Amino acid sequence: MSESNIIISLDHVSKWFGEKRVLDDVSLNIKKGEFVTILGPSGCGKTTTLRIIAGFETPDEGNIFIGGELMNKVQPHKRPVNTVFQRYALFPHLNVFDNIAFGLKLNGVPKDEIEKRVLRVLKMVGMTDYEWRNVDSLSGGQQQRVAIARAIVNRPAVLLLDEPLSALDHKMRKDMQIELKQMHKKLGITFVYVTHDQEEALTLSDTVVVMNEGVVQQIGTPTDIYNEPVNCFVADFIGESNIFNGTMIADRLVSFMGHEFECVDEGFGENVPVDVVVRPEDIYIMPRTDKGQFDGTVSSCIFKGVHYEMIVNTPDGHELMIQDYNAFEVGMEVSMIIKPNDIQVMKKERVCNTLEGEMIDSTHVEILDTSFECLPQEGLNSGDKVLVEVDFDKIDLTDDKRDGACEGDITFILYKADHYHLTVRTESGENVYVDTQDVWEDRDIVGVNIRPEDMRIRLAEAKA
Ligand code: ATP
- The residue nearest atom 25 of ligand 1, judged by CA position, is 17
Residue 452 has pLDDT above 90, yes or no: yes
| Residue at a domain's end among 283, 317, 347 | 347
Q: SS3 for 82?
A: strand
| Residue at a domain's end among 316, 347, 378 | 347
Adjacency order of strands within the sheet including 81-84: 81-84, 158-162, 190-195, 35-39, 207-212, 215-220
| Ligand 1 touching residue 22 (CB < 6 A) | yes
| Mean pLDDT along residues 400-405 | 88
Instruction: Report the run of H or E that residue 15 belongs to, with start and end.
Output: strand 6-17
Residue 339 sits in the same domain as residue 404: no
How far is ligand 1, taken at its centre, from the CA of residue 398, in Å? 28
Answer whether 196's CB lies under 8 Å from 40's CB: yes
Closest CA to 382 of 403, 363, 361, 366: 361
- The residue nearest atom 16 of ligand 1, judged by CA position, is 22
| Ligand 1 touching residue 19 (CB < 6 A) | no
Give me the long-range contacts of 296-304 (CB less than 8 A, separation at least 24).
296/320, 296/333, 296/334, 296/335, 296/336, 297/331, 297/332, 297/333, 297/334, 298/328, 298/329, 298/330, 298/331, 298/332, 298/334, 299/330, 300/330, 301/327, 301/328, 301/329, 301/330, 303/327
Residue 189 sits in the same domain as residue 249: no
Q: Which domain CATH number covers 226?
A: 3.40.50.300
At 219-274, the pLDDT tens digits run: 999 999 998 899 989 998 888 899 999 999 999 999 999 999 999 999 999 999 99
How far is ligand 1, taken at its centre, from the CA of residue 354, in Å? 28
Q: Which atom of ligand 1 is nearest to the CA of 40?
A: 6
Q: Which domain CATH number covers 432?
A: 2.40.50.140
Domain assignment present for residue 464? The answer is no
- Determine the structural domain holding residue 334 and report its residue range: 233-347
For residue 462, the model assigns a pLDDT of 64
| Ligand 1 touching residue 46 (CB < 6 A) | yes
Residue 2 has pLDDT above 50, yes or no: no
- The residue nearest atom 3 of ligand 1, judged by CA position, is 42
Name the percent of the chain lying above pLDDT 70. Answer: 98
Residue 252 sits in the same domain as residue 152: no
* Three-state DSSP string of 223-283: HHHHHCCCCHHHHHHCCCCEEEEEEEEECCEEEECCEEEECCCCCCCCCEEEEEEECHHHE
At 284-326, the pLDDT tens digits run: 999 999 999 999 999 999 999 889 999 999 999 999 999 999 9
Closest CA to 197 of 390, 343, 7, 37: 37
Answer whether 216's CB lies under 8 Å from 46's CB: no
The one-character DSSP state at 95 is B
| Residue at a domain's end among 347, 380, 406 | 347
| Mean pLDDT along residues 381-390 | 95
